[in-house]
Amino acid sequence: MSKLWGGRFTKPTNQLVEEYTASILFDKELAEEDIQGSLAHVKMLGRSGIIPEADAAVIAEGLTKVLAKIKAGELAFSVGDEDIHMNIEKALIAEIGPVGGKLHTGRSRNDQVATDMHLYLRKRTVEIAGLLHKLQEALLAQAEANLDTILPGYTHLQRAQPILLAHHLLAYVSMLERDIGRFRDSYKRVNVLPLGAGALAGTTFPIDRHFVAEQLGFDGVYENSLDAVSDRDFIVEFLANSSLVMAHLSRLCEELVLWSSTEFGFIELDDAFCTGSSIMPQKKNPDVPELVRGKTGRVYGHLIGLLTVLKALPLAYNKDMQEDKEGMFDTVRTLEGALQLFAPMIATMKVRTERMRQAVNRDFSNATDIADYLVTKGLPFRQAHEVIGRLVLYGIEHDKFLLDLTLAEFREFSELFDENIFEVLQPEHVVNARNVYGGTARTQVEAALGRARQNAAATAEWMAGFDR
């Protein structure tokens, strides 16, 4: 059978051109969305009197049968038919005869493919927000279970100040909250209908774009037909949002890898999320966080790739824009795959509280607190900083930590020290002294947990509003 668009051509397409320009090998992933959009479009065509309603009903029935065949794996897609739109239209005509050719009335593949991608990303945006929410829940559960677990906080990967593990985990909850917020905000730009823009300038048929939008659950339609078929901002935004999620996951992955090492020993990942070595029987490798960390680069690459495709691209549609899909599909698979693993991995993670406590007791991360202590005694902070610096150096040279020193040793460096310095140096005191909004004090962390739970409930409520 000749091309559906072949009337103007005198030669068949070169086989290499067919293979090079065809997109069916990847855009077949849009089959369900393509038929979903077509069903709304043909309903509008019949309702508006553009085609007979009886024909519209036959076409709708045929589309439903084609979709059933696709889901059952009974429809063979052909590279010769280029893309998912032409493959489905040809299958439809084979199913119901020439009347199937009326389906494409009043539309172009340009506005059709844009509609498919809006439908696809609309669904994935909600799915990903849901997976982020599940990961938040797992982190919150671990935080609640570790409200009294103290570990070293780090800067430059050097021990800095003691913090609550719950406080540390809540930092990632906050990152994920921003991620969810970005996806929720971008949803309103995804949920706009381009169908009806035609190839670039609209159509001569009296279509009802707003009716189609209502049928498909879109909040509105594109105002400008040129913009409708050439806009890929919504995909760029999705890729940017996904890149930030992967950045956050990668940071957490790095800590999980470090913390599960013998050198740290702060956590143990469940066996179900680790693998072994083919030669070293003692090994338990944190492969999941390592691989998520590694896959971050491919998501970044898809973002840069699409931005580069769009650079200096003239209006309206250009074949370059076929390159918008594979990176989008791969990003969805990569991100959803990582998030599906992450929540149960965090939920089953064992925290070695005693090892964390030992680490806090055997370092100088309480030094800032005794500098602050001297400030409360009237010593200017810069002088207090110097005093404690010399005190720490003394401890290093004598193989002692601050809690190992005697009062006499403290007083060698300042007469302002008295007996209560040993209370000030206790990890619990150090943590709870930071009783400011957003700080690591237990009361502040409890309050932060409450706020995080409220945010999580709001996300759950937002997702509950979607039945699609």
Let me know if 265 is exposed, middle or buried by CB neighbors in 10 A (0-12, 13-18, 19+). Answer: middle
The beta strand positions in 183-328, using DSSP E, are: 192-193, 220-221, 267-268
Structure tokens at 460: 């759950």
Q: How far apart are CA 402 and CA 416, in angstroms?
A: 16
Displacement of CA 369 from its chain's centroid (Å): 38
Phi and psi at residue 64, in whole multiples of 5°?
A: -65, -40
In sign, the C-alpha dihedral spanning 90, 96, 98, 103 is negative
**277: annotated active-site residue:** yes
What's the chain's Rg over C-alpha atoms?
Answer: 30
Nearest to 136 by CA among 468, 440, 365, 448: 448
Q: How far apart are CA 425 and CA 441, in angstroms?
A: 15
Q: 3-class SS at 150?
A: strand
Which entry of 48, 118, 156, 365 is annotated as an active-site residue?
A: 156
DSSP character string of 153-220: EEETTEEEEEEEHHHHHHHHHHHHHHHHHHHHHHHHHHSEE-TT-TTTT--SS---HHHHHHHHT-SE
Q: How far apart are CA 353 and CA 146, in angstroms?
A: 8
> Bridge partners of 152?
162
Beta strands 267-268 and 350-351: pairing type?
antiparallel
Which entry of 250, 277, 302, 398 is annotated as an active-site residue?
A: 277
Sequence-separated (6 or more) residues with CB below 8 Å from residue 26: 325, 326, 329
**48: annotated active-site residue:** no
The residues annotated as belonging to the active site are 156, 277
